[in-house]
Amino acid sequence: MRASRRAAALAAALALAVTLALAGCEKNNGAYCDATIACPNGGTCDLVARQCSTSASDLPVVLPDLAGVDLAGVDLTSTCTACPPEKPLCVSGACAPCNAATNADDACKALDQTRAHCLSTGPDAGRCVNCTTNGDCTQPHDLICDPTAHACRGCVANGECDSLICDTVFDPVFGASIQRGDCLPPGGNNIIYVDQLNCPSTVDGSKAKPYCHLATAISKVTSTLNIIHAAPSSYAEDLQVGNDTSFILVGDPGSPDTALVGKNNEPIHINGNGGTNVTLIGLDFPNSPSGHSSIWCDSGKVAVYQTRVANSGYYGIDGSPNCSNVVVDQCRIGPGNSQGGLHVGVSGSNTSFTITNNFVFRNGSASSLIGGVSLFSSTSVSPRVFVNNTIANNTTQTGYAGVACALGAPFTINQNILFSNIASATISESNCTTRYTATDDHFDAISFQSNNVDLSVTGPAFLDNANNDYHLQSGSPCKGTAGASALTNHDIDGDPRPSVGTSRFDIGADQLP
């Protein structure tokens, strides 16, 4: 379709001895058009041929760098009509798949240097694509070849990385040089490996010879050897983290999970000092012994990301009495944490917190002191952030079953859903100041608070409330009612706020597409 135009342009402009005229009909071609891509210079688009009708002199000529390109097997003198992506080459006057060329990758490169690889297998075989293996991806933060889109991207799961660790967290937990979507470098000397199902008789914490127990790995932590990868298994250990011990523990979410269940006490108890800082990513806490929380930060700092905490014998996550900072993001806290979901600080404590993008649901009981969340700290600490959470179906004996605040002064929680949280058999959501909050406390929704959404009649339209799926249906009253500015840039699943192509912000942990 473009053969004669390109041949003429090449002859006139470059006086080439050999006329090159690749005829693949691709979106990068100057003559390509369709219902969404207009012709340049105001030309008319033939929607059947997907070709601009303007004269060759009006069209830009794109000349790829063909140095070293092997086009043997491709007929450069023939002309084809519009060729589909699965048959991008013109061979003997007919459209053909890219692997019809002797050197298929070179043929693709001649068509479009951004899609310089020929896919030879699978349902998309014959197409020119961005990549076929990870080795085709060379950009620093896009080193994974997506097996479906055949385009280079960042990692999305640990299993895509040779190091077994993919940074999926929005906070820079692995340092400034590692971005979200990066694989941690393979063979790095800062990772300790644990795999209790596949540890050999001789272990050293390497990927090839992982330790059997998490406690052993923690005992080996230093200021530079401070990342632990735990393979899927159920680890029944009572982990104690003491003074000046800081590490990142990364699990593999999925089926099976990396699960920490505890043996006689808390699965993990952080009881250190100002130099103790523990980050937990991608873990499952399916239960803990009676009377013990699943995660207890007694003294030190804790950050919990992309983790499930359920059926705890006390609180799901406990950041008291002297935990200096608590971060919880993209977590599912519930169901069944017997004394409440999330407990932060004690009255007058110096516990700062950032609680964002979480589902906190079906925690507490008619005899528990808290239901979903309790927040305690002095007014002088910072940060104190509670934004874009969904708090639903929690129960307590008295007080506020959704979010209870005892913070020394009025504290505002923003863009949260508070729904069906019960104290003393009555809806009792929160004593915090609420802003852009969806609540079924009708009095709170309309009388005193700012820009709130009343759920007392319609409800939030969860996807499946009975089965603990607190994502939103498309018709939810929480859609687009969270104000005009982002307080977080992502939701519980990592989807962006605002939604792509919009300026819309939704209330709660879930952002609709």
HEC per residue, 448-488? HCECCEECCCCCCCEEEHHHCEEEECCCCCCCCCCCCCCCC
* C-alpha distances in Å from residue 223, one per residue of 143, 191, 245, 263, 483: 28, 12, 8, 28, 42
pLDDT band at 478 (very low <50, low <70, confident <90, very high): very high
**In whole angstroms, what is the distance from residue 147 CA to residue 121 CA?**
11
Predicted confidence (pLDDT) at residue 265 exceeds the cutoff of 70: yes
Domain count, the chain: 1
Give the residue-averaged pLDDT of 222-251.
96
Q: Is 491 a member of any domain?
A: yes
**Count of CA atoms in the C-beta half-sphere (13 A) of 492:** 26
Tokens found for residue 364: 């507490």
Highest mean pLDDT among 121-125, 303-307, 373-377: 303-307
pLDDT at 72: 52
Q: Is 17 a member of any domain?
A: no
**In whole angstroms, what is the distance from residue 225 CA to residue 216 CA?**
13
Q: Is 468 a member of any domain?
A: yes
pLDDT band at 47 (very low <50, low <70, confident <90, very high): low
Contact 229, 258 (CB under 8 A): no
Give the residue-averaged pLDDT of 201-216.
97
Q: Is 170 a member of any domain?
A: no
Contact 39, 54 (CB under 8 A): yes
Q: Is 2 a member of any domain?
A: no
**In whole angstroms, what is the distance from residue 311 CA to residue 332 CA?**
12
Ranges of beta strands (E only) in 178-294 are: 191-194, 227-230, 233-235, 239-241, 246-251, 258-260, 268-271, 277-281, 284-285
pLDDT band at 486 (very low <50, low <70, confident <90, very high): confident
Residues 6 or more apart from 263 whose CB is under 8 A from it? 236, 237, 238, 289
Predicted confidence (pLDDT) at residue 19 exceeds the cutoff of 80: no
Predicted confidence (pLDDT) at residue 397 exceeds the cutoff of 90: yes
Distance of CA 162 to the CA centre of its chain: 19
Least confident of 31-45, 58-72, 368-382, 487-501: 58-72
pLDDT band at 249 (very low <50, low <70, confident <90, very high): very high
Contact 390, 416 (CB under 8 A): yes
Give the residue-averaged pLDDT of 330-348.
93
Predicted confidence (pLDDT) at residue 365 exceeds the cutoff of 80: yes
Contact 439, 445 (CB under 8 A): yes
Distance of CA 496 to the CA centre of its chain: 9
Contact 214, 194 (CB under 8 A): yes
pLDDT at 450: 67
Average per-residue pLDDT for the chain = 85
Give the residue-averaged pLDDT of 360-378.
94
Higher-confidence residue: 88 or 130?
Answer: 130
Q: Is 411 a member of any domain?
A: yes
pLDDT band at 419 (very low <50, low <70, confident <90, very high): very high
Contact 4, 12 (CB under 8 A): no
- 438-477 as b/e, with b when 16 or more CB fall inside 10 Å? bbbbeebbeeebeebbbbeeeebbbeebeebebbbeeebb
Structural domain that includes position 481 = 314-513
Residue 344 belongs to what H/E stretch?
strand 340-344
If you write DSSP's letter for every residue of 111-159 in order, what string do you get? H-GGG-EE--SSTTTT-EES-SSGGG--BTTB-EE-TTT--EE---SGG
Helix-then-strand count for the chain, H and E: 4, 39
Least confident of 96-105, 291-300, 437-446, 454-463: 437-446
Predicted confidence (pLDDT) at residue 58 exceeds the cutoff of 50: no
Tokens found for residue 181: 């979507």
Tokens 């002309």 found at: 79
| Cβ atoms within 10 Å of 277's Cβ, excluding its own | 21
DSSP state letter for 445? I
pLDDT at 497: 96
Predicted confidence (pLDDT) at residue 456 exceeds the cutoff of 60: yes
Amino acid at 167: D
pLDDT band at 5 (very low <50, low <70, confident <90, very high): very low
Q: Is 271 a member of any domain?
A: no
pLDDT at 65: 39
pLDDT at 437: 94
* C-alpha distances in Å from residue 113, one per residue of 29, 146, 445: 12, 18, 57
Percent pLDDT > 90 in the chain is 65
pLDDT at 381: 85
pLDDT at 408: 66
Backbone angle region of 181, left / alpha / beta, with phi > 0 → left and psi within -120 to 50 → alpha: left
Predicted confidence (pLDDT) at residue 14 exceeds the cutoff of 50: no
Q: Is 337 a member of any domain?
A: yes
**In whole angstroms, what is the distance from residue 443 CA to residue 466 CA?**
26
